[in-house]
Amino acid sequence: MAYWLMKSEPAEFSIDDLVKAKNQTVPWFGVRNYLARNFMRDQMKIGDDVLFYHSSCPEPGIAGRALVSSPAYPDPTQFEKKGKYFDAKATPETPRWMLVDVKLAKKTRLLSLAEMRSILSLEEMVILQRGNRLSITPVKANEWKTIIKLLG
């Protein structure tokens, strides 16, 4: 089992949207970074734990927990010619972008970025490193345990 942090802008898709989604499950579409894609394609497994992180908002932070609920498969948004995530180089035979489905485990209180920065045992967490812009990052087991404790 592995642990992940997955960022979403709440204006586009929030933890509340996941709560309301059919079966509380959604495809994690629109990732257009090769390292984040590779995490989904090569390392994520069904049952892996996910921290659902709100980014690019007035108070960024962890808003809930989810589980990876499917193996990686081609992101259909790469083929939508008029869509925001269209990629002209992608074809159904040779897709460039992958996604996994995530299922809600629990909506939590917001564990803010500021609060996370104040916890010494989280100082090496990828999300807290300067210049980190990845939408999906691995989380170490000790970081996961600390965050779960903080969330109650």
Dist CA 82 CA 104 (whole Å): 30
Q: How confident is the model at residue 132 (pLDDT cuts 50, 70, 90)?
A: confident
**Domains defined for the chain, CATH in brackets:** 3-151 (3.10.590.10)
Residue 24 is classified by DSSP as G
Residues 134-142 have a mean pLDDT of: 97
Q: pTM here?
A: 0.95
Q: Tokens 């990732």 belong to which residue?
A: 31
Dist CA 48 CA 87 (whole Å): 28
Residue 85 is classified by DSSP as T
List pLDDT tens digits, range 39-96: 999 999 999 999 999 999 999 999 999 999 999 999 999 999 999 999 999 999 999 9
